[in-house]
Amino acid sequence: MDALSVAAVVCPVSLVVAYATGALLPCRGPHDWLVPDALWRSPPRTVALTFDDGPDPVGTPAVLDLLRRAGATATFFLIGERAERLPSLVRRIAAEGHSVGLHGWKHQSMPLLTPARLDADLARCAATLESLLGSAPRLVRPPYGRRDVRVYLAARRRHLTPVMWSFDSRDWLPRSRADIARRLDRVRSGDIVLLHDGLPRRAAMLDAVDALLDRLRAVQLPSVALRPPSGSGALPPTARSAGA
């Protein structure tokens, strides 16, 4: 029995709390130390922009256009039911050199699902993306960043690498372009940046990302698409989330 299986057996209290509250937040916990291949940082001298909640018929093409003009790549964590409705957009993401990962079938908090529903959620999302892309994605980001040992076990069974983030753009808050841009000015080498291409209020985010791409290009810090690690990665650092 490996460390994850042991943890799932000996930590029932934490699992009950997760079910009861849904309060698993994207900060480091004991379960994260048990998964050395989970990604919290991008490779040295790079930045990894990641976009959640797509594909969106308006937001995703706009983000792709920005990335193409900047010669940058990124990682898109897609919701399965949305991907099924927009197959050509999913294929465009991959065709332009970006990575694609799972973000669940319906954007549900995974720790609150029963084991059977959790496995079915991952399976349906993975099968849909594989049917569209011709290969199975190997990255997964739990919706809201909420995860527990069971989520990690389910990901491992499907050979999925969990991806978190070291920098939250907070673009989901009602902020101006200047607010988001000031926050993105704090992005540094090695950061995995959390962004969203499915927001209803996307103009401010797009302007701020455009400015960030200009800055990264000026300092020769490439934005890269994440790939599953070939071996065990480093233990996750604490996510940086200084107030804006």
Q: DSSP assignment of 63-120, as one string?
A: HHHHHHHHT---EEEE-HHHHHH-HHHHHHHHHTT-EEEE--SS---GGGS-HHHHHH
Share of the chain above pLDDT 90, in %: 66
- Convert the pLDDT of each residue in 46-75 to its tens digit: 999 999 999 999 999 999 999 999 999 999
21-36 b/e (C-beta count within 10 Å ≥ 16 → b) = eeebebeeeebbebbe
* Residues 75 and 98: beta-carbon distance below 8 Å: yes
Task: Report whether pLDDT(25) > 90.
Answer: no
Task: Report whether pLDDT(21) > 60.
Answer: no
The secondary element (H helix, E strand) that includes residue 37 is none
In the block, residue with structure tokens 């065709």: 95
Query: Residue 10 — very low, low, confident or very high, per pLDDT cuts 50/70/90?
Result: very low
- Which residues pair with residue 77 across a beta bridge? 52, 101
Cβ-proximal residues to 225 (8 Å cutoff; 6+ apart), any chain? 48, 73, 74, 75, 97, 98, 99
Of 19-23, 162-166, 228-232, the one with minimum mean pLDDT is 19-23
Q: Please give the CATH number for the structural domain made up of 3-218.
A: 3.20.20.370
Domains of the chain, residue spans: 3-218
Q: How many residues does the chain have?
A: 244
Upstream peptide bond of 55 is cis (omega within 30 degrees of 0): yes
**What's residue 8's pLDDT?**
46
Looking at residues 116-131, what average pLDDT do you find?
96
Looking at residues 143-150, what average pLDDT do you find?
88
Which positions are annotated as active-site residues? 52, 196
